[in-house]
Amino acid sequence: MDAEAAKLLGAGLAALGAGLASLGVGNVFAKFLEGALRNPGAADGQQGRLFIGFAAAELLGLLSFVVAMILIFVA
Amino acid sequence: MATEAKVDPMHQFTIQPMFGTDQLELLGYNIAITNSTVWMAISAIVLWVFVAGGMKRQLVPGRWQMAVESFTGLIDDMLEANIGKNGRKYVPYIFSLFMFILFGNILGLMPLGVVGLHPFTFTSHFTVTGILAIISFGIVLIVGFAKHKLHFFSLFVPHGTPVPMIPIIFVVEMISFMVRPFSLGLRLFVAMMAGHVLLEVLSSFVIGSSNAGMQYFAIAGIPSFLLMIGICALEILVAGIQAYVFALLTSVYLNDAENLH
Protein backbone atom coordinates (compact mmCIF):
# COMPACT_ATOMS: atom_id res chain seq x y z
CA MET A 1 0.00 0.00 0.00
CA ASP A 2 1.46 3.36 -0.93
CA ALA A 3 1.62 6.26 1.50
CA GLU A 4 -1.13 8.31 -0.19
CA ALA A 5 -3.66 5.48 0.09
CA ALA A 6 -2.71 4.88 3.72
CA LYS A 7 -3.27 8.57 4.49
CA LEU A 8 -6.75 8.55 2.96
CA LEU A 9 -7.65 5.30 4.74
CA GLY A 10 -6.48 6.81 8.03
CA ALA A 11 -8.57 9.92 7.40
CA GLY A 12 -11.61 7.73 6.73
CA LEU A 13 -11.00 5.77 9.93
CA ALA A 14 -10.70 9.04 11.87
CA ALA A 15 -14.26 9.83 10.76
CA LEU A 16 -15.41 6.99 13.06
CA GLY A 17 -14.61 9.34 15.94
CA ALA A 18 -17.24 11.82 14.72
CA GLY A 19 -19.90 9.12 14.83
CA LEU A 20 -18.85 8.03 18.32
CA ALA A 21 -18.93 11.64 19.53
CA SER A 22 -22.51 11.86 18.25
CA LEU A 23 -23.39 9.09 20.72
CA GLY A 24 -21.84 11.17 23.47
CA VAL A 25 -23.62 14.38 22.49
CA GLY A 26 -26.93 12.53 22.15
CA ASN A 27 -26.39 11.01 25.57
CA VAL A 28 -25.79 14.43 27.15
CA PHE A 29 -29.05 15.86 25.80
CA ALA A 30 -31.04 12.66 26.41
CA LYS A 31 -30.06 12.50 30.08
CA PHE A 32 -30.72 16.21 30.50
CA LEU A 33 -34.18 15.84 29.02
CA GLU A 34 -34.85 12.80 31.16
CA GLY A 35 -33.93 14.71 34.29
CA ALA A 36 -35.70 17.88 33.15
CA LEU A 37 -39.00 16.07 32.62
CA ARG A 38 -38.83 14.60 36.11
CA ASN A 39 -38.16 17.97 37.71
CA PRO A 40 -39.02 20.78 35.28
CA GLY A 41 -38.55 23.42 37.96
CA ALA A 42 -34.83 22.73 38.30
CA ALA A 43 -34.20 22.37 34.56
CA ASP A 44 -33.58 26.01 33.64
CA GLY A 45 -30.91 26.44 36.27
CA GLN A 46 -28.88 23.57 34.85
CA GLN A 47 -28.61 24.77 31.26
CA GLY A 48 -25.08 26.02 31.76
CA ARG A 49 -23.94 22.58 32.89
CA LEU A 50 -25.80 21.05 29.93
CA PHE A 51 -23.78 23.14 27.49
CA ILE A 52 -20.50 22.46 29.31
CA GLY A 53 -21.18 18.73 28.97
CA PHE A 54 -22.16 19.20 25.35
CA ALA A 55 -18.97 21.18 24.65
CA ALA A 56 -16.74 18.57 26.30
CA ALA A 57 -18.37 15.71 24.38
CA GLU A 58 -18.32 17.57 21.09
CA LEU A 59 -14.67 18.60 21.35
CA LEU A 60 -13.52 14.99 21.18
CA GLY A 61 -15.53 14.43 18.01
CA LEU A 62 -14.11 17.60 16.48
CA LEU A 63 -10.61 16.37 17.29
CA SER A 64 -11.20 13.38 15.04
CA PHE A 65 -12.12 15.81 12.25
CA VAL A 66 -8.84 17.64 12.89
CA VAL A 67 -6.95 14.34 12.66
CA ALA A 68 -8.63 13.59 9.30
CA MET A 69 -7.82 17.08 7.97
CA ILE A 70 -4.19 16.80 9.11
CA LEU A 71 -3.85 13.41 7.42
CA ILE A 72 -5.27 14.70 4.13
CA PHE A 73 -3.74 18.17 3.91
CA VAL A 74 -0.68 18.28 6.18
CA ALA A 75 0.91 14.84 6.62
CA MET B 1 -17.07 14.54 -21.97
CA ALA B 2 -15.94 17.97 -20.86
CA THR B 3 -13.16 18.34 -18.34
CA GLU B 4 -14.62 17.70 -14.92
CA ALA B 5 -14.71 20.77 -12.70
CA LYS B 6 -12.95 19.89 -9.45
CA VAL B 7 -14.53 21.58 -6.44
CA ASP B 8 -11.96 22.30 -3.77
CA PRO B 9 -13.77 22.52 -0.42
CA MET B 10 -10.82 24.26 1.23
CA HIS B 11 -10.66 27.10 -1.30
CA GLN B 12 -13.23 29.14 0.63
CA PHE B 13 -10.79 29.51 3.54
CA THR B 14 -8.04 31.13 1.44
CA ILE B 15 -6.81 34.42 2.85
CA GLN B 16 -6.49 37.00 0.07
CA PRO B 17 -4.99 40.48 0.35
CA MET B 18 -7.47 43.09 -0.84
CA PHE B 19 -7.37 46.66 -2.17
CA GLY B 20 -3.79 46.17 -3.43
CA THR B 21 -2.31 46.23 0.09
CA ASP B 22 -0.47 42.91 -0.19
CA GLN B 23 2.95 44.57 0.29
CA LEU B 24 1.94 46.66 3.32
CA GLU B 25 4.52 46.16 6.07
CA LEU B 26 4.97 47.23 9.67
CA LEU B 27 8.26 46.47 11.44
CA GLY B 28 9.01 43.74 8.91
CA TYR B 29 5.65 42.01 9.28
CA ASN B 30 3.12 41.87 6.49
CA ILE B 31 -0.05 43.66 7.64
CA ALA B 32 -2.01 43.46 4.37
CA ILE B 33 -5.74 44.12 4.60
CA THR B 34 -7.17 40.67 3.84
CA ASN B 35 -10.69 39.36 3.36
CA SER B 36 -10.46 38.15 6.97
CA THR B 37 -9.77 41.69 8.22
CA VAL B 38 -12.56 43.12 6.08
CA TRP B 39 -15.14 40.67 7.43
CA MET B 40 -13.99 41.27 11.00
CA ALA B 41 -14.49 44.99 10.40
CA ILE B 42 -17.91 44.37 8.84
CA SER B 43 -19.06 42.26 11.78
CA ALA B 44 -17.75 44.87 14.23
CA ILE B 45 -19.68 47.58 12.36
CA VAL B 46 -22.87 45.48 12.21
CA LEU B 47 -22.49 44.75 15.92
CA TRP B 48 -22.01 48.48 16.67
CA VAL B 49 -25.09 49.40 14.63
CA PHE B 50 -27.12 46.65 16.32
CA VAL B 51 -26.20 47.75 19.82
CA ALA B 52 -26.43 51.50 19.06
CA GLY B 53 -30.00 50.97 17.82
CA GLY B 54 -30.96 49.55 21.23
CA MET B 55 -29.41 52.26 23.42
CA LYS B 56 -32.49 54.50 23.42
CA ARG B 57 -33.26 53.61 27.08
CA GLN B 58 -37.01 53.92 26.63
CA LEU B 59 -39.13 52.92 29.60
CA VAL B 60 -41.28 50.76 27.32
CA PRO B 61 -38.73 49.14 25.02
CA GLY B 62 -39.39 48.84 21.31
CA ARG B 63 -38.59 45.69 19.35
CA TRP B 64 -34.98 46.64 18.65
CA GLN B 65 -34.21 47.66 22.22
CA MET B 66 -35.88 44.45 23.37
CA ALA B 67 -33.57 42.39 21.12
CA VAL B 68 -30.42 44.07 22.44
CA GLU B 69 -31.62 43.87 26.05
CA SER B 70 -32.39 40.19 25.77
CA PHE B 71 -28.80 39.56 24.64
CA THR B 72 -27.29 41.63 27.45
CA GLY B 73 -29.72 39.94 29.85
CA LEU B 74 -28.57 36.52 28.66
CA ILE B 75 -24.91 37.36 29.35
CA ASP B 76 -25.78 39.05 32.63
CA ASP B 77 -27.70 36.00 33.88
CA MET B 78 -24.94 33.66 32.72
CA LEU B 79 -22.25 35.56 34.62
CA GLU B 80 -24.38 35.89 37.74
CA ALA B 81 -25.17 32.15 37.71
CA ASN B 82 -21.53 31.13 37.15
CA ILE B 83 -19.51 33.70 39.10
CA GLY B 84 -21.97 35.38 41.43
CA LYS B 85 -22.52 39.04 42.27
CA ASN B 86 -18.97 40.15 41.53
CA GLY B 87 -19.15 38.60 38.06
CA ARG B 88 -21.12 41.63 36.83
CA LYS B 89 -17.93 43.55 35.98
CA TYR B 90 -17.11 41.07 33.20
CA VAL B 91 -20.38 41.75 31.32
CA PRO B 92 -18.76 44.20 28.81
CA TYR B 93 -16.00 41.76 27.88
CA ILE B 94 -18.13 38.61 27.67
CA PHE B 95 -20.88 40.47 25.82
CA SER B 96 -18.43 41.82 23.21
CA LEU B 97 -16.82 38.39 22.85
CA PHE B 98 -20.15 36.59 22.46
CA MET B 99 -21.64 39.08 20.02
CA PHE B 100 -18.45 39.37 17.91
CA ILE B 101 -18.22 35.58 17.53
CA LEU B 102 -21.97 35.25 16.94
CA PHE B 103 -22.03 37.97 14.26
CA GLY B 104 -18.88 36.53 12.63
CA ASN B 105 -20.45 33.07 12.50
CA ILE B 106 -23.81 34.27 11.20
CA LEU B 107 -22.39 36.73 8.64
CA GLY B 108 -20.17 33.94 7.29
CA LEU B 109 -23.30 31.85 6.65
CA MET B 110 -25.17 34.61 4.80
CA PRO B 111 -26.02 33.55 1.22
CA LEU B 112 -24.42 36.69 -0.23
CA GLY B 113 -22.63 34.59 -2.85
CA VAL B 114 -25.72 34.84 -5.08
CA VAL B 115 -25.04 38.56 -5.52
CA GLY B 116 -21.31 37.94 -6.08
CA LEU B 117 -20.12 38.96 -2.61
CA HIS B 118 -18.49 35.92 -1.03
CA PRO B 119 -18.68 36.02 2.74
CA PHE B 120 -15.63 34.88 4.66
CA THR B 121 -16.02 33.22 8.05
CA PHE B 122 -13.10 34.56 10.05
CA THR B 123 -13.99 32.28 12.98
CA SER B 124 -12.97 29.31 10.80
CA HIS B 125 -9.31 30.22 11.28
CA PHE B 126 -7.32 29.10 14.29
CA THR B 127 -5.31 32.35 14.28
CA VAL B 128 -8.50 34.32 15.07
CA THR B 129 -10.13 31.94 17.55
CA GLY B 130 -6.76 31.16 19.15
CA ILE B 131 -6.13 34.86 19.82
CA LEU B 132 -9.64 35.26 21.28
CA ALA B 133 -8.97 32.24 23.52
CA ILE B 134 -5.58 33.63 24.59
CA ILE B 135 -7.21 36.96 25.50
CA SER B 136 -9.74 35.10 27.70
CA PHE B 137 -6.99 32.96 29.24
CA GLY B 138 -4.84 36.05 29.83
CA ILE B 139 -7.69 37.77 31.67
CA VAL B 140 -8.14 34.64 33.83
CA LEU B 141 -4.43 34.65 34.72
CA ILE B 142 -4.33 38.40 35.44
CA VAL B 143 -7.48 38.32 37.61
CA GLY B 144 -6.35 35.15 39.39
CA PHE B 145 -2.87 36.36 40.26
CA ALA B 146 -3.97 39.93 41.06
CA LYS B 147 -6.71 38.76 43.40
CA HIS B 148 -5.17 35.72 45.08
CA LYS B 149 -1.41 36.30 44.51
CA LEU B 150 0.43 32.94 44.71
CA HIS B 151 -2.53 31.42 46.52
CA PHE B 152 -3.95 31.04 42.99
CA PHE B 153 -1.94 27.80 42.71
CA SER B 154 -4.30 26.18 45.21
CA LEU B 155 -6.61 25.91 42.16
CA PHE B 156 -4.53 22.90 41.17
CA VAL B 157 -5.10 21.07 44.46
CA PRO B 158 -8.82 20.44 45.08
CA HIS B 159 -10.10 20.37 48.67
CA GLY B 160 -9.74 17.06 50.46
CA THR B 161 -6.98 15.65 48.28
CA PRO B 162 -5.03 13.01 50.24
CA VAL B 163 -1.45 14.20 50.81
CA PRO B 164 0.29 11.37 48.87
CA MET B 165 -1.88 12.21 45.83
CA ILE B 166 -1.05 15.93 45.78
CA PRO B 167 1.95 15.78 43.37
CA ILE B 168 -0.01 13.69 40.83
CA ILE B 169 -3.23 15.72 41.12
CA PHE B 170 -1.24 18.94 40.82
CA VAL B 171 0.30 17.83 37.53
CA VAL B 172 -3.02 16.57 36.14
CA GLU B 173 -4.89 19.76 37.12
CA MET B 174 -2.02 21.87 35.75
CA ILE B 175 -2.22 20.13 32.36
CA SER B 176 -5.99 20.46 32.23
CA PHE B 177 -5.62 24.16 33.04
CA MET B 178 -2.92 24.85 30.47
CA VAL B 179 -4.81 23.07 27.67
CA ARG B 180 -7.87 25.32 28.16
CA PRO B 181 -7.02 28.11 25.69
CA PHE B 182 -6.14 25.49 23.10
CA SER B 183 -9.40 23.55 23.43
CA LEU B 184 -11.40 26.79 23.62
CA GLY B 185 -10.04 28.09 20.33
CA LEU B 186 -9.96 24.71 18.62
CA ARG B 187 -13.63 23.97 19.33
CA LEU B 188 -14.93 27.13 17.67
CA PHE B 189 -12.59 26.96 14.68
CA VAL B 190 -13.20 23.28 13.91
CA ALA B 191 -16.97 23.51 14.35
CA MET B 192 -17.20 26.40 11.90
CA MET B 193 -14.75 24.88 9.42
CA ALA B 194 -16.41 21.43 9.47
CA GLY B 195 -19.82 22.95 8.71
CA HIS B 196 -18.55 25.02 5.81
CA VAL B 197 -16.61 22.10 4.32
CA LEU B 198 -19.73 19.92 4.59
CA LEU B 199 -21.88 22.52 2.80
CA GLU B 200 -19.25 22.89 0.06
CA VAL B 201 -18.99 19.11 -0.46
CA LEU B 202 -22.79 18.75 -0.67
CA SER B 203 -23.03 21.64 -3.14
CA SER B 204 -20.35 19.99 -5.28
CA PHE B 205 -22.59 16.87 -5.36
CA VAL B 206 -25.48 19.00 -6.63
CA ILE B 207 -23.40 20.71 -9.32
CA GLY B 208 -21.56 17.54 -10.38
CA SER B 209 -24.73 15.44 -10.68
CA SER B 210 -26.60 18.13 -12.64
CA ASN B 211 -23.68 18.25 -15.09
CA ALA B 212 -23.72 14.45 -15.44
CA GLY B 213 -27.33 14.24 -16.61
CA MET B 214 -30.98 14.35 -15.61
CA GLN B 215 -31.21 10.89 -14.04
CA TYR B 216 -28.09 11.46 -11.90
CA PHE B 217 -29.52 14.80 -10.76
CA ALA B 218 -32.76 13.09 -9.71
CA ILE B 219 -30.93 10.33 -7.81
CA ALA B 220 -28.09 12.29 -6.17
CA GLY B 221 -28.62 16.00 -6.75
CA ILE B 222 -32.09 16.54 -5.30
CA PRO B 223 -31.49 14.58 -2.04
CA SER B 224 -28.17 16.43 -1.57
CA PHE B 225 -29.94 19.74 -2.07
CA LEU B 226 -32.62 18.85 0.48
CA LEU B 227 -29.90 17.75 2.89
CA MET B 228 -28.11 21.08 2.34
CA ILE B 229 -31.21 22.99 3.43
CA GLY B 230 -31.32 20.96 6.64
CA ILE B 231 -27.59 21.35 7.25
CA CYS B 232 -27.91 25.13 6.75
CA ALA B 233 -30.49 25.25 9.53
CA LEU B 234 -28.20 23.12 11.70
CA GLU B 235 -25.28 25.46 10.96
CA ILE B 236 -27.27 28.49 12.16
CA LEU B 237 -27.92 26.54 15.39
CA VAL B 238 -24.23 25.62 15.66
CA ALA B 239 -23.20 29.25 15.07
CA GLY B 240 -25.29 30.28 18.07
CA ILE B 241 -24.29 27.35 20.28
CA GLN B 242 -20.56 27.73 19.63
CA ALA B 243 -20.63 31.46 20.41
CA TYR B 244 -22.61 30.67 23.58
CA VAL B 245 -20.24 27.87 24.59
CA PHE B 246 -17.22 30.12 24.09
CA ALA B 247 -18.74 32.79 26.32
CA LEU B 248 -19.94 30.20 28.85
CA LEU B 249 -16.56 28.48 29.17
CA THR B 250 -14.83 31.85 29.49
CA SER B 251 -17.16 32.71 32.37
CA VAL B 252 -16.56 29.29 33.98
CA TYR B 253 -12.81 29.87 33.79
CA LEU B 254 -13.25 33.38 35.19
CA ASN B 255 -15.15 31.81 38.09
CA ASP B 256 -12.04 29.72 38.90
CA ALA B 257 -9.94 32.89 38.92
CA GLU B 258 -12.47 34.89 40.92
CA ASN B 259 -13.50 32.36 43.56
CA LEU B 260 -10.90 29.56 43.30
CA HIS B 261 -12.75 26.37 44.28
Convert the pLDDT of each residue in B154-182 to its tens digit.
Answer: 888 888 888 888 888 889 988 988 998 99
Range of the domain at A60: 3-74
CA dihedral (B221, B222, B223, B228) positive or negative: positive
Q: Please judge whether A62 and B81 are an interchain contact, meaning their C-beta atoms are less than 8 angstroms apart.
A: no
Residues of B whose CB is below 8 A from A53: none
Beta-sheet strands, E only, within chain B: 25-26, 29-30
Confidence (pLDDT) at B4? 52
Question: In the A/B pair of chains, how many CB contacts fall below 8 A?
Answer: 38
B23, pLDDT greater than 70 = yes
Condensed to tens digits (0 to 9), the pLDDT of residues B88-107 reads 888 899 999 999 999 999 98
Q: Which residues are registered as beta bridge partners of B17?
A: B34
The answer, yes or no, to whether residue B30 has pLDDT greater than 90, is no
CATH of the domain at A52: 1.20.20.10
Identity of residue B207? I
Determine contact, residues B155/B261, Cβ cutoff 8 Å.
yes
For the segment B42-68, the average pLDDT, to the nearest whole number, is 86
Q: Find chain B residues with C-beta within 8 A of A63's C-beta.
A: 186, 190
Minimal C-alpha gap between B120 and chain A (Å): 20
Torsion sign over Cα B178, B184, B186, B187:
positive
CB-CB under 8 Å, A51 with B194: no
Burial of B214 (0-12, 13-18, 19+ CB in 10 A): exposed
**Burial annotation B169-186 (CB, 10 A radius, 16+ → b, else e):** eeeebeeebeebbebbbb
Determine whether the interchain pair A52/B252 forms a contact, defined as Cβ–Cβ distance below 8 Å: yes
Q: What is the pLDDT of residue B5?
A: 55
Q: What is the CA radius of gyration of chain B?
A: 23
Mean pLDDT along residues B230-238: 89
pLDDT at B97: 92
Look at residue B201 and tell me whether its pLDDT is greater than 60: yes
Q: What confidence category does residue B2 fall into, taking pLDDT thresholds of 50, 70 and 90?
A: very low
Domains in chain A, number: 1
Nearest 5 degrees, angle CA A66-CA A70-CA A72?
A: 120
Dihedral sign for Cα B156, B162, B168, B169, please: negative
Nearest Cβ partner of A48 from B81, B186, B187?
B81
